[in-house]
Structures are given as structure tokens and as C-alpha cells.
Amino acid sequence: MMRTTIILCLLPTVFSARAEFVIDCSVMSEKYWAVWNDAAQAKIDADIERYRKADAVVEIDAPNGTVVSVEQISHGFFFGAHIFNFNQLGKTEYNDRYKELYGTLFNSATVAFYWKTLEPYQGQVRFQEDYRDTEEYWNRAFAEDADGAMRKAHWRRPATEPVVAFLNTRGVRIHGHPLCWGNNAWMTPSWIWDGFCPKAEKDALEAASGVKLPSHDWRLPMGVKEFGRDEWKKEGVVSWSESWEKIFKRLTPDEVAAICPTYFANLNRFTFDRVRQIAARYGTRVDSWDVCNESSPDFHGESVTGKPFQVSPRYGITAGDLCYNAFKTAQETLPRSAWLNINDYSMDENYFAQIKDLEKNGCRIDVIGSQMHLFNPKESAKIAEGEGPSHLTPQGIADRFTLLSKAEKPIHLSEITITAPDMTPKGQMVQAIILRNCYRAWFAVEKMNGITWWNVVDNCGAPGEPSISGLFTRDMKPKTAYYAMDDLINREWKTSLTVPSVSSPTGAGKQVVSFRGFRGKYRLTWTDAAGKVQTKVMEVK
């Protein structure tokens, strides 16, 4: 049945961190609310109370019975988002509004360290900003949609130094993404093949396989297209990934390794030298890293094989024992204070088995990353009708994280996408309700330590990602989902109360303040015996 505890109301349309969110539950079917029913919500509330709150006792100098104001000023839990659109929204007004979210809504930010666009030429690493990071550039930049329409372009790969410096000024936790990823299209720089595979090896591979591997061009955004593809077609040349697929239908991996030993030696050398380079520059400045990204589907029982390369059906050719060597290199070069995360979209037994195998082989894994991308607007509409995927029900969410919790490590819900069915008021409310209920269920998981929203702004995702999955429109107008998230983070899950003090059992004129609140940092304020306002900052763990 439909929950009756929710007030129906129009949503505020003014951008304000204090604007209240009120649900219109009528946009969801009775079948949906039968799943997200009062009993399920009560169970979530109980688990949040149990796992996300703690009791606090503190002594203060104050008269007996002094009323103390208790105000939470930061969260112990990480509420994050990627910051890939930093200074790339085309107007100072939009960029400033975007940046204001970090430190007010988000206390954690995922910074882009994708190798292909960070080091487009060998040795020319884009740590510092250039013309592509300016408003002028983005005001002139347009791209062509699949239907031929022109729209404002976006690159999602700002230089790292300005982003890290900005986040430091806002006191925001920094998460680097990723150090290693086997994706040839979006991660592996093409200059390794172009410049460090000898011509003799390329010719020998072409002769043995009958397949010509094309060169790449780093300048095309995100690496999703390859330079000269139209020209290749005229000459009968296929794409990079298609070429390797054909090669491995005609040659075994051992045969390919014997033909191209120099290339694979260089691929391995550059892959793990890159980890050392990033660690040397950002080791003490970045709090956590996705050390290896989306590798579990390519795990087949052994993290250590000794082979010179891996063949990924999804991503192409990667360095040998990529995930194992990534973690070993990271833990040798990064400080112990930096958390080493593994990250994946696959939440099955194979992922759990990979984690245990890596640990057996000496890898230190501090945090388990878990992705959840609801990309298809039609899926969101199905959820509203009560027909959505089972893993986005209260029981499905609990079951999914029961498996990962067996590893006895914190879990980072590292990439979250919840798209709206459409941009109507009803469609926006559907997105907001899915967000609210899922966030509450995720927040209630005992091992969860953070939730990171992916695309903050509409029409700023990677190719293939939905254009209406953001919390804001492209011109930085808040959507209903923004208010839903802000209501959770800045009201429902933030403790603010007044507490009378009582005499301390230790005596000496001390008073004791006791309260229960969400884990995080607090400011206590009271008036002492001399009439002077006093404050004390403390942490509830």
C-alpha cells in the first residue's frame, strides 16, 4: 500500500542548501510502495541508528544544569561525487555554483587520474591547467551528438593540481580514480603502442595474423573514437579492439607474446612506473585510491600468473597480472595513510574470490569499491511501477552487501548513477524518490563508509551515459534529486540539539554532557559561570 506518512507538496525551485524536500509519493505505484513499505523503512531506520550513530560523553566547565547547544559540523561518513567538471561548465556563475557543492553537500571528491588524458604524450603529464581548462575554451567548444545536433562539449578530465588545491581549501577528502585500469579506450595511452612497439614486431604480428593494427590519436575525447577510422575502413583496417579480437582468433597469447616481447615489456614498465610517478607527487595529498578498476570479470582463479600480458574480452590487452602488480606497486610507493581501494561493478562471488586471492598473495586492500549505475531511463520508469531490478529493493541491497561484508573491510559505494525517466516534474520526482530510498538503505549497511554520486550535472557524462542523470541541469539549476540528497545529508543525517549538563562524578566543578548523534565532528556551545560563551570541538566516533 502507499505510505501515508509522506506529505504531498510542491518542491521549492530556488537553489538553496536549506530548501526542504517533500516527497510526492503519488508518482510511484502502490506496487513500489509495497516493497518500500513502513516495515522496510523502520528496519532501515533501526540499522542507521545502530551503525551510523554513537554515544558521546564530554566534560565541560559550566554551572550545574547549563544547557549546551550540540551542533554537528562534519560527517564521519563520506558523501562524495566526482569533480570531473571542474571549471568546464562554460560560465563563471555555473562553475562557482558547481564548486560550492564541495564542502557543503559533498565532503569527499573523486579526482580524475585517467592515464590516457593525463599523459597524452609520453612525459607530458597534465598536472597543471592549460587552455583546455579555461572558461574561454569551454565557451567555444561544441560537440556533435549522435543525431547530428550540436551541443556544448565537455571533457571530464581537468588538470589535477588545480582540483586538488581547490579541495584542500574546502576541507574535502580526496579520492584518486584510477591508478590502473585495463581499458584500452579510456585508460591506456596509445603512445605506448605507437612509439614503443618496434616496427619489426608490428610487421611480424601483422604477417602472422593477417591483421593490421591501427595507430591511435590521443586528441579525440575520452578515447572512444580512433583517429582516421573512416580512412581505415577504406583500406580494410578495423578498430584497435576489433583488431586484437581478430588476432586472438588466429594466434594464441603465447604466440603473440613471442612475436612482440619488446612491446609487452614496455607496456608493463610504463604501467607500473606511472603508479610510482603518481605516488611520488600525490602520495601525501590524496587520501585514497582506486588502485585497480573493474578487473574482477577478467579474474579466473589466479591473480599471479607470471604471464607478460592479460587478454580482457571487454578492454583489450593489459599489463601482466595487472591487479596484483598494481596493488604491490601502490603499497610499496604510497604512504600507509593512503587507503588502497579495489573497485568494480561486478558484485558476485568472483569479485569476492579475487579479493581473497589478492590478499593471499600479499596485497593490502583497505576498502572494497562497489558501483551501481542505473543508466537506462526506462529502468527508472519500471522501478516507479514496481518492476525494477531486485538489487535495488531493500532486501536486494541488504543481500548484495552481505557478500562483500564477509571480507570484513569498509565498503565504498564508489560510483552511483540514478537517471530520471524524463525531465518532467514527475520524472524528476521519480529520480529523487529512488535516490532517497536507495541512499537510506545503503547508509544503513554496517560496513559502508561512503557513497559517491557520479555525474552531478546533466549532459556531462561519458559517451553512453544518460544525459539526465545529474542533480543539476546543464546550466546548474537544481533538480528535485538535489533537494532529496541535501535533505538527507544536511538535515535527516545531521545531529543538532540542546542538552542539559549534569554534575560530573569526578567532581571539581565539572559538568557532563551526554548525547547520541551521527558520527562526525561537533561544536558544543554554552555559557560559563562568568557569563562568557564557550565552545568545544569534539569528535563522535
Please report which confidence band the pLDDT of residue 149 belongs to, taking 50, 70 and 90 as the band edges. low
Q: Answer positive or negative: Cα dihedral of 270, 275, 279, 281.
A: positive
Least confident span in 88-92, 121-125, 215-219? 215-219
Count of residues in the chain = 541
**CB-based contacts of 194, cutoff 8 Å, min separation 6:** 215, 216
pLDDT tens sequence across 125-148: 999 998 888 888 888 876 655 555
Question: Shortest CA distance to 299 belongs to which of 363, 241, 246?
Answer: 363
Using an 8 Å Cβ cutoff, are 518 and 72 in contact?
yes
Please report which confidence band the pLDDT of residue 393 belongs to, taking 50, 70 and 90 as the band edges. very high
Average of pLDDT values for 296-306? Answer: 96
Average of pLDDT values for 357-376? Answer: 97
Q: Answer positive or negative: Cα dihedral of 225, 228, 233, 235.
A: negative
At residue 119, does pLDDT exceed 60? yes
pLDDT tens sequence across 152-211: 666 799 999 999 999 999 999 999 999 999 998 889 998 999 999 999 999 999 999 999
**pTM summary value:** 0.92
Least confident span in 41-45, 459-463, 480-484? 459-463
What proportions of the chain, in percent to the nearest 5, are helix, strand and coil?
A: 40, 25, 40
Question: Shortest CA distance to 114 belongs to which of 167, 159, 165, 179?
Answer: 179
Question: Shortest CA distance to 515 belongs to which of 56, 53, 60, 59?
Answer: 56
Least confident span in 351-360, 412-421, 509-518? 509-518
Least confident span in 105-119, 184-198, 273-287? 184-198
Using an 8 Å Cβ cutoff, are 355 and 407 in contact?
yes
Q: Write down the pLDDT at residue 215.
A: 73
Q: Give me the residue spans of the domains in the chain.
A: 37-72+495-540
CATH 2.70.50 fits domain 37-72+495-540: no
Convert 350-362 into a string of H (helix), E (strand) and C (coil): HHHHHHHHHHHCC
Question: Shortest CA distance to 460 belongs to which of 153, 221, 177, 160?
Answer: 153
pLDDT tens sequence across 225-264: 444 455 555 555 667 778 888 999 999 999 999 999 999 9
